[in-house]
Structure 1
Amino acid sequence: MLAQRTESGTGSGYMDIKFTNRLSYKQARLTVLVGFILGTLLSLIQIGIDYASEDASINREMQALLQISHNPASRIAYNLDAELANELTLGLLKSPAITRARLIDNTDSVLSDVQRPREQSSYRVVSDFLFGQSRQFQDRLMLDQMPSEYLGTLYLEVDTFAFGSRFLKRAEVTLLNGFVRSLVLTGILLALFYFMLTKPLVRVISALSNSNARAPNQNKLAFPPGHEQDEIGVLVKVANQQFVSMATEIQQRRNAENRLTDYLNELENIVSARTNELKSSNTRLSQSNEELEQARRRALDMAQARAAFLANMSHEIRTPLNGLLGMIALSLDSPLNAEQRQQLSIAHDSGKVLVELLNDILDLSKFDAGQLELERIPFDLGALVEDTANLLSQNAAPSVELTCLIDPQFPSSVLGDPTRVRQIVSNLLSNALKFTRFGRVDVRLGTYPGGVRLEVCDTGIGIPLEAQVRIFQPFTQAGAGITRQYGGTGLGLALTRNLCEAMQGRLSISSEAGFGSQFSVELPLSSHTPAIAPAPLRGKVVAISSASSGLDELLQSLLPRWGLTYSRHDSIDSLVDLEPDLLVTDNLDGLFGLRPSLKAPILLVTAYGNFLPGEEAAQLAPLQQQARPLARNALYQTLQRILQGSDDAGPVAQAGTQTSERRARILLVEDNPVNQLVAKGMLGKLGCEVIVAGHGGEALEQLEQAAFDLVLMDCNMPVMDGYEASRRIRQSGRWPDLPIVALTANAMPEERERCRAAGMNDYLAKPFRREELLALIDHWVPPTAPET
């Protein structure tokens, strides 16, 4: 009531504060809460001490009662007086805590047994929980004159509720007193905090609410009586200082507003002048924007012209190259003398180098234009490495041992872009073979967590440390003398690094001048098909080779896994009494002296093009010859054929390597006569029947007249090009399953998409090799079983 009267007397500008939000209430609440908790804890401690005392008093009082009753009970038991025994037990039963008394003699005969019911109360549950329902006491009876003679036993059963009820009443009083003290303390603290804190603050708030901060002559707030030096007094002082500061600031703002008015008038004049200048600047800016737009259009036109130039250059160079290499390849299949074959082989190799150079230049241009696209298809990386090494083995010096060392647990297929991976392998291996004249060149293929690791190691000239950074720059080699002595353009390693980075991989080098080089490539190509173990073989294979040779390392890793017993020896002299099933060697020293003492077949591993002539091979018969590097599939087939007398290719044979005659009718659509001759010659040697059309119109006419298994379609032709012809074939609906393969000299990536959009099924860039053409026919025209 006092608080309500005080609040009603404040000014109209004062906003009432809820009772529960006042500082006096909050402070009293916290103080009382702490006091209540503390008082409750102290009361509980006091109750606990009282409980322990009461619990001990039960035993103490009962023991005292037994001591008082000991002598009378002993005499009664001695005299066997049942009447006195009954009086004694009834007397004990008058105690409020005893509910049963029993006296027996030394023969366990009951002299007296009396009891009464327990007292019932709502507090009994609590009392029984604290002290238990009852307690048993007994006293062994004996006389002082006969301390060793047992006379009987006095039994007492005590109801603890008599003591528990007394304890609970005291505990109730103790807790009630603590609660009352807390309530009294709460009231006192509320009154004290209100008069000492809340009431002075309410006065200050009321004065602040009624004051006008913007009045020029603001009166100072008065100090509440008795609070001049405490926190409330400091609050009033700070408020008065703020009033003074606000008055000063208001006056300064008024002065600033007057000055600002003057500035605005001047600014209007300046803005008018600047507006005229901006109009002129906008006019000049518009002209500059038009010039920039024209420059942007010219840049776009130049980029399109550059792309068109690259496409045209690719087409114009590849078309004659296709004819050149095709004709040379066809000539190499004709009867030639050794000199002519050597000359044509050199010309064919030079043409292939020119094609690789053209591919590198186009690929670098794709990187620069951001047009490189990567495939993600399953392919056999192990076979790809072996095929690439086999194609490049002709570039190896005769004294260089080229070896493909593939982890036997390497997956059968991985997911990635086989074309780009082949470029990486080809560039690194070509680089190693170019700069290695003696020793070894090893291609190692394995896995690491998350991808595959390819290493190309050589014993060549090595790369100085200061030149290892430059070799990855386009058109750069380790030194000027390198280009003069070994040739090359310096594009291979730059392109290889770009391809690795495009596949999210890594290319690293470890080299020292004069001690060879090691290029390591890590590519995140995931496994698609795990490794497939071939059917086991049986036999004993002995190799004659150096302990440091790649041949021994290859055979040691493969043959035991294929079930063969393998051992290596340094010389032929150690073959005595070994009786091998097969002898493998890469050394001719002493080999011709083995026959006829050695009956086992011989597998001779030679460099590219160094097979023994017929007469010398006949002296070593039975003899098998294979060129380095040994491929796993070819080696397995040879071992199977020799050791088991079987021509079965086994589970590791590769698809697409057969050269059996084909029965395919192919429509070749090509306007260039040279390319017609090349394609017809290659297809004829593959057993295909070829019909030629000079442009798309003739192709449609040929399709109307006869059925074909495959269409090889050139893209750029007069009258009707390959794109339009393919679209018309698809739109007619008459040949929905007829495969159409584009033959184009344009190697740019958008050309492949353009061919697919026109309805073509596949794409083959010129110049193409017979192996690529064979693989294409194998895919789209599977061989049929021979007629019987």
Structure 2
Amino acid sequence: MLAQRTERETGSGLMDIKFTNRLSYKQARLTVLVGFILGTLLSLIQIGMDYASEDASINREMQALLKISHNPASRIAYNIDAELAQELTGGLLQSPAITRAWLIDNNETVLADVHRPRQESSYRFISDFLFGESRQFQDPLFFSHMPDEYLGTLYLEVDTFAFGNRFLERAEITLLNGFVRSLVLTCILLALFYFMLTQPLVRVISALAKSNTRHPAQSKLSFPPGHEHDEIGVLVKVANQQFVSMSTEIQQRRNAENRLTDYLNELENIVSARTLELKASNTRLSQSNEELEQARRQALDMAQARAAFLANMSHEIRTPLNGLLGMIALCLDSPLNAEQRQQLSIAHDSGKVLVELLNDILDLSKFDAGQLELERIPFDMGALVEDTANLLSQNAAPNVELTCLIDPQFPSMVLGDPTRVRQIVSNLLSNALKFTRFGRVDVRLGAYTGGVRLEVCDTGIGIPREAQVRIFQPFTQAGAGITRQYGGTGLGLALTNNLCEAMQGRLSISSEAGFGSQFCAELPLPTHSLAVPAERLRGRIAAISNAASGLAELLETVLPDWGLDYQRYDSPDELNSAAPDLLITDNLDCLFSLRPQITTPILLVTAYGNFLPGEQAAQLAPLQQQARPLARNALYQTLRRTLIGNDSTHLSAHHGALLSERRARILLVEDNPVNQLVAKGMLAKLGCEVNIAAHGAEALEQLHATPFDLVLMDCNMPVMDGYEASRRIRQSGHWPDLPIVALTANAMPEERERCRAAGMNDYLAKPFRREELLALIDHWVPLTAT
């Protein structure tokens, strides 16, 4: 019953096709639309031709009327008969198109002038648009036997609406006829298409709707009369073939369903068996997940324990190291004999190596834990490279020339992390100085689009090609003999490579055993400010040096850029009669033979610690001495003082007076007696007054009693630690601008943030050097006096 009802509803729906959706309507609509467009185009063409004919007929009729009136008007003008002229123009005005007529003689006297109002209509604007509002015609008057004698002129003013109205009526009839023809054609085509196409299709659709879909083999459509061999007949034939195919396919599907039912029964049995196996597997998997979760928790606990261990070891190692290095530094400032000074210097250098090793291990742990954070601040990379090279120059062998070669166009400031960049420069340069005993070590700095390129080249022992692939791994060197002969842990290059990758840069090596090495670090540090040209100097500078020396290359690069006339000589004999304003040399042997011959000021460039003593320097006066590597700013100031004539003695005295007036009052909060002695000794040598507090509570008491310019705060102390003391200082509101600098032996990255959160302004890790302490005081107490 449901199937029969569905069939009835389907058949009824198909019979109720909307009129505008039927094929007969669509075909008739398209046919009539095309016919209507063609009829309209033909009507418009006919109207256009009629318009051209009507437009020409206006001129033709008026010319004919003027031709008829020519002879009478000529006689009237000849006789100057105003009465006849009035009759003639009045007669012309009887024409419906003429609204004015006037006649003048050869003396321009008006013999007659008649007119009447023009005809008004709502369609007049169309006529005026097509034919113009009015037209004027004139006929010069003369006798046919005297064509050269002018008698006067007959004027006619024509209202074109009489012709335009006639044209518009014909155009209206033409368009109306075309529309009626299209409408009749539409009705005829609708009837034809309905009986020839729509009605047979509706019968076929109705028969299809009534067919039995459950038994398609019993359903067979009959051909509509007269359509056995056309498209409709083909449709019926194809439908009957589909019924046969559907019957076959339904029978095949029934057979397949029977087989599928059998397969499903078998599958249920298999699934039941597999379900039992999966339950057992899930039980085993749950046990494995529990074991993995337990292993993960153990790994996290071990990572936390390692971090805590590194922090504790950093604190426990740095605290005695700070006392050890500080005491040695204080001893080195006291009077000592040569042997004692050498022994203490060796102990001090060994302690610094130990600090560097500790820093490298902590940095590697930061990489492993993903805790390394990079700053992005502007800094002068050229000055940073020169300062680092100057600090490391004491590690250079006596026969090694250390030179910093910086491109004159290198940016004044770049954006990046100056601490990590300094670490890269220090590691590469320390590595080059360690393995170079003779020749040169050059630090070259240049810029490329979007970054900087740092190259460290040496003439040392080189690295075999097979060892270059593993030197960037931690605790790895080129060979076992390297460690025994030169020392080191193999952490420096691994850490440098990690730092370059953290900055999205690249570290590469080019080396050959026995022929030196070249390390190149390309760092994407964008330019913050371009290079600032130095003030131009004037003068003649001569140099006595080897052409292959770093000094010669440096001078050839910078001196012409500063506007100086520069000339290099291989030996003193080549000077001859040259009289330079300044002589620069690194050849000490030639100075004593040269000084009696010339009085030119001399700049002697020597290795670190090889300055001439006072007596020998006095013999070569005027003499200035600078240690390698020669920094650009130091060289420029020396040239400026020499060439312009600044009173360097006065400047030094003024600078010394400023230092002597500088008295910063500092509160040192430290519980370790050794660290108290070290910090107090360093601060005293820097001209500072120091008060000591053993813990935070005592520091608060002293702050209430005495004003201080700076607080150096240890973090781990009894009674009250440095964090709590700093928080109370900030919360009190009595010292809002008092600088507090943390002194801590914990060098882990989270320690800096913890100090800032407690209200401290800066951070200094133990062990610290006097230069670092002085830089802090210069920053936070720039001009302090008692």
TM-score, scaled to structure 1: 0.82
Contact 2:216–2:243, Cα closer than 8 Å, also in 1: no
TM-superposition CA deviations, 1:325-362 (whole Å, max 9, x none): 33332232223344544454444334433433332332
2:4 aligns to what? Answer: none
TM-superposition CA deviations, 1:369-397 (whole Å, max 9, x none): 21112233444434323321221233345
> 263-272 or 324-333, which moves further after superposition?
263-272
Task: Decide whether aligned partners of structure 1 residues 660 and 480 sit closer, same or farther in structure 2, where only a CA change above 3 A counts.
Answer: farther
2:3 aligns to what? Answer: none
Q: Distance in 2 between matches of 1:94 and 1:484?
A: 138
Contact 1:741–1:760, Cα closer than 8 Å, also in 2: yes
Alignment of 1:209-358 (within 5 A): 209-215=209-215, 218-259=218-259, 262=262, 266=266, 269-358=269-358
Query: What is the SS of the residue equivalent to 1:41?
Result: helix
Residue identity opposite 1:522 in structure 2: L
2:498 aligns to what? Answer: 498
Q: Distance in 2 between matches of 1:548 and 1:166?
A: 111
Task: Decide whether aligned partners of structure 1 residues 113 and 721 sit closer, same or farther in structure 2, where only a CA change above 3 A counts.
Answer: closer
Residue identity opposite 2:334 in structure 1: S
> 158-167 or 485-494, which moves further after superposition?
485-494
1:3 aligns to what? Answer: none
TM-superposition CA deviations, 1:192-215 (whole Å, max 9, x none): 232233323333333343344235
1:542 aligns to what? Answer: 541
Cα RMSD (Å) of the superposition?
Answer: 4.3
1:751 aligns to what? Answer: 751
Residue identity opposite 2:121 in structure 1: S
2:442 aligns to what? Answer: 441
Query: What is the SS of the residue equivalent to 2:564?
Result: strand
Task: Decide whether aligned partners of structure 1 residues 432 and 184 sit closer, same or farther in structure 2, where only a CA change above 3 A counts.
Answer: farther
Task: Decide whether aligned partners of structure 1 residues 759 and 347 sit closer, same or farther in structure 2, where only a CA change above 3 A counts.
Answer: same
TM-superposition CA deviations, 1:38-94 (whole Å, max 9, x none): 322332233223323333333344344444555554555455555554454444444
Q: Distance in 2 between matches of 1:255 and 1:548?
A: 98
> 174-183 or 338-347, which moves further after superposition?
338-347
Query: What is the SS of the residue equivalent to 1:104?
Result: strand
TM-superposition CA deviations, 1:132-185 (whole Å, max 9, x none): 112233344444544444444343333222322222222212211221122122
Task: Decide whether aligned partners of structure 1 residues 370 and 324 sit closer, same or farther in structure 2, where only a CA change above 3 A counts.
Answer: same
Contact 1:404–1:631, Cα closer than 8 Å, also in 2: no
Alignment of 1:617 with 2:617, yes or no, is: yes
Alignment of 1:386-785 (within 5 A): 386-397=386-397, 398-405=399-406, 407=408, 410-412=411-413, 414-434=414-434, 437-439=438-440, 441-446=442-447, 448-449=449-450, 452-456=451-455, 458=457, 460=459, 470-476=470-476, 488-507=488-507, 514=515, 517=518, 519-525=520-526, 527=528, 540=539, 542-544=541-543, 565-571=563-569, 580=581, 584-586=584-586, 591=591, 601-635=601-635, 637-638=637-638, 641-642=641-642, 643=644, 645=646, 661-671=662-672, 674-690=674-690, 709-715=709-715, 739-757=739-757, 760-785=760-785
> 714-723 or 45-54, which moves further after superposition?
714-723
Task: Decide whether aligned partners of structure 1 residues 96 and 634 sit closer, same or farther in structure 2, where only a CA change above 3 A counts.
Answer: same
2:118 aligns to what? Answer: 118
Task: Decide whether aligned partners of structure 1 residues 122 and 663 sit closer, same or farther in structure 2, where only a CA change above 3 A counts.
Answer: closer
Contact 1:428–1:519, Cα closer than 8 Å, also in 2: no
Task: Decide whether aligned partners of structure 1 residues 92 and 560 sit closer, same or farther in structure 2, where only a CA change above 3 A counts.
Answer: farther
Query: What is the SS of the residue equivalent to 1:568?
Result: strand
Q: Distance in 1 between matches of 2:69 and 2:686?
A: 131
TM-superposition CA deviations, 1:239-275 (whole Å, max 9, x none): 4444444444544555555555555555555555444
TM-superposition CA deviations, 1:670-694 (whole Å, max 9, x none): 43x5544433332332233445566
Alignment of 1:55 with 2:64, yes or no, is: no
Query: What is the SS of the residue equivalent to 1:570?
Result: strand
Task: Decide whether aligned partners of structure 1 residues 775 and 579 sit closer, same or farther in structure 2, where only a CA change above 3 A counts.
Answer: closer
Task: Decide whether aligned partners of structure 1 residues 357 and 65 sit closer, same or farther in structure 2, where only a CA change above 3 A counts.
Answer: farther
Taking only the aligned residue pairs, the percentage that are identical comes to 76
Contact 1:13–1:206, Cα closer than 8 Å, also in 2: no
Residue identity opposite 1:292 in structure 2: L
Contact 2:393–2:402, Cα closer than 8 Å, also in 1: no
Alignment of 1:127 with 2:93, yes or no, is: no
> 481-490 or 98-107, which moves further after superposition?
481-490
Contact 1:503–1:523, Cα closer than 8 Å, also in 2: yes
Query: What is the SS of the residue equivalent to 2:626?
Result: strand
Task: Decide whether aligned partners of structure 1 residues 394 and 231 sit closer, same or farther in structure 2, where only a CA change above 3 A counts.
Answer: farther
Alignment of 1:103-182 (within 5 A): 103-182=103-182
Q: Distance in 2 between matches of 1:120 and 1:331?
A: 126
> 634-643 or 621-630, which moves further after superposition?
634-643
Task: Decide whether aligned partners of structure 1 residues 574 and 74 sit closer, same or farther in structure 2, where only a CA change above 3 A counts.
Answer: farther
Q: Distance in 2 between matches of 1:477 and 1:49?
A: 105
Residue identity opposite 2:520 in structure 1: F
Q: Distance in 1 between matches of 2:63 and 2:544?
A: 109
Alignment of 1:185 with 2:185, yes or no, is: yes
Query: What is the SS of the residue equivalent to 1:186?
Result: helix
Contact 1:664–1:687, Cα closer than 8 Å, also in 2: no
Task: Decide whether aligned partners of structure 1 residues 761 and 40 sit closer, same or farther in structure 2, where only a CA change above 3 A counts.
Answer: same
Q: C-alpha displacement at 1:292, in angstroms?
A: 1.9
Q: C-alpha displacement at 1:402, in angstroms?
A: 1.0
Task: Decide whether aligned partners of structure 1 residues 667 and 9 sit closer, same or farther in structure 2, where only a CA change above 3 A counts.
Answer: closer
> 727-736 or 232-241, which moves further after superposition?
727-736
Contact 2:140–2:150, Cα closer than 8 Å, also in 1: yes
Q: Distance in 2 between matches of 1:440 and 1:194?
A: 103
> 265-274 or 494-503, which moves further after superposition?
265-274
> Could you list the runs of 5+ residues in structure 2 that have no partner in the other structure?
1-7
Q: Distance in 1 between matches of 2:606 and 2:28?
A: 105
Contact 2:608–2:628, Cα closer than 8 Å, also in 1: yes
2:42 aligns to what? Answer: 42
Contact 1:537–1:640, Cα closer than 8 Å, also in 2: no
Residue identity opposite 1:569 in structure 2: Q
Task: Decide whether aligned partners of structure 1 residues 173 and 732 sit closer, same or farther in structure 2, where only a CA change above 3 A counts.
Answer: closer
Q: C-alpha displacement at 1:465, in angstroms?
A: 7.6
> 346-355 or 75-84, which moves further after superposition?
75-84
Query: What is the SS of the residue equivalent to 1:121?
Result: coil
> 726-735 or 237-246, which moves further after superposition?
726-735
Q: Distance in 2 between matches of 1:295 and 1:649?
A: 72
Q: C-alpha displacement at 1:754, in angstroms?
A: 3.8
Task: Decide whether aligned partners of structure 1 residues 417 and 570 sit closer, same or farther in structure 2, where only a CA change above 3 A counts.
Answer: closer
Task: Decide whether aligned partners of structure 1 residues 734 and 63 sit closer, same or farther in structure 2, where only a CA change above 3 A counts.
Answer: closer
Contact 2:542–2:580, Cα closer than 8 Å, also in 1: no
Contact 1:640–1:647, Cα closer than 8 Å, also in 2: no
Task: Decide whether aligned partners of structure 1 residues 713 and 106 sit closer, same or farther in structure 2, where only a CA change above 3 A counts.
Answer: same
Contact 2:709–2:738, Cα closer than 8 Å, also in 1: yes
Q: C-alpha displacement at 1:129, in angstroms?
A: 0.9
Residue identity opposite 1:395 in structure 2: N
Task: Decide whether aligned partners of structure 1 residues 143 and 106 sit closer, same or farther in structure 2, where only a CA change above 3 A counts.
Answer: same
Q: Distance in 2 between matches of 1:97 and 1:533?
A: 95
Task: Decide whether aligned partners of structure 1 residues 132 and 311 sit closer, same or farther in structure 2, where only a CA change above 3 A counts.
Answer: same
Q: C-alpha displacement at 1:777, in angstroms?
A: 2.9
Query: What is the SS of the residue equivalent to 1:37?
Result: helix
> 536-545 or 50-59, which moves further after superposition?
536-545
Contact 1:428–1:493, Cα closer than 8 Å, also in 2: yes
